[in-house]
Amino acid sequence: MSGIEGKATLVTGGGSGIGLGTATRFASDGADVTICGRTEDKLARACEQIRAGAAPGVTVQYVVADVTSEDQVRAATARAAEVSGRLDILFCCAGGAMHLGPIADADADGVRATVELNLIGTFLCIKHAVPFMAGGGSIVGMSSGAGHFPHRHLWAYGMAKAGIEMLVRYAAEELADSGIRVNAVQPGIIDDELMAFITAGGPLFDDYMAQTPISRPGTVQEVADAVRFLVGPEAAWITGECLAVDGGHHLRRGANYGLLLEGP
C-alpha cells in the first residue's frame, strides 16, 4: 500500500521531464493521473508511457491546457476531478524562462511572460484546484534553486520562482483549515531534456558541478520521489515547506548563466 491509491491527481507540464516522471510515479503507486500541457501530440505520447508503468485499474488521461489561461486551467482541473468527483493532488510543474541576461538590457515582454507562466500559472492552478479539494488535498509547486538564491543573469526566472515560494507559504497558511497542504520543491540542475543544453557539458555545467557538493546532476526520478513524499500521508504534518532537491547546491553560490552569454 503506497498511500495514494485511488487519489485523483493533476500534473501540469506533464508531457515531459519532471512533470512526466512525477505523473509516472503517481500512476505506478495507484493514483489516477491527468496531465496537461500545450502540445497534444506530446501529451498523448506521455500518457502511453505512463500507462506502461501504471498500477492495474489506474485512469491516465490528458487535457490540452495553457496554465496562463484561466479558462483552460478551470477546464483542466474539472477534467481531473471527473474521475472520482474530486481532486486530491495537484503538482504545478509547468514553467520556463523567457528571459536571460542583465536587468538593464531586459526585454520587458520576456520578463512578463516568465512571470505569467511560472507564478501566475501556479496561482491559477491553485485557485481552481481548491474547490475540488473539499475535505483535504495536497498541492506542490515547482520552484528552483534560482528562486532561493541568485543565479547570475537568471533573475527573471528566479524572481518568478521566488514568488511561487511565497505563494506556497501564503496558501499553506490560508488553506490549512480546509485540510489542504501546500509545499514546493526546489530542484537543482536535472539531467532531462530541458537542461540537456547544460548537462551536455561546457563552462556552465562545470560551474554547476563546482558549486554542488554532491557533484553530479540530479535525475527526474529523484525529484519525482520528493514530490511523491510531499503529497503522500508520510508528509501529513508538513506544509509551507520549500524542499531543496539539489545535491546541496543551496549551500554554495548560484550558477553563473553569464557563461552562456559569453559564447565559445
Active site amino acids: 157
In 102-238, which ranges are E strands?
137-142, 180-187
CB 139 within 8 A of CB 129: yes
The sign of the dihedral angle between the CA atoms of 122, 147, 181, 20 is positive
DSSP code, position 84: T
Q: How many CB atoms neighbour CB 71 within 10 A?
A: 11
Q: Compute the CA torsion angle 242, 18, 89, 159 (nearest 10 deg).
A: 40
Residue with cell 477546464: 75
DSSP per position, 149-181: S--BT-HHHHHHHHHHHHHHHHHHHHHGGGTEE
- SS3 at position 115: helix
Give dist(CA 204, CA 165) in Å, integer: 25
Count of C-beta atoms within a 10 Å radius of residue 128: 22
Q: How far apart are CA 29 and CA 236, in angstroms?
A: 17
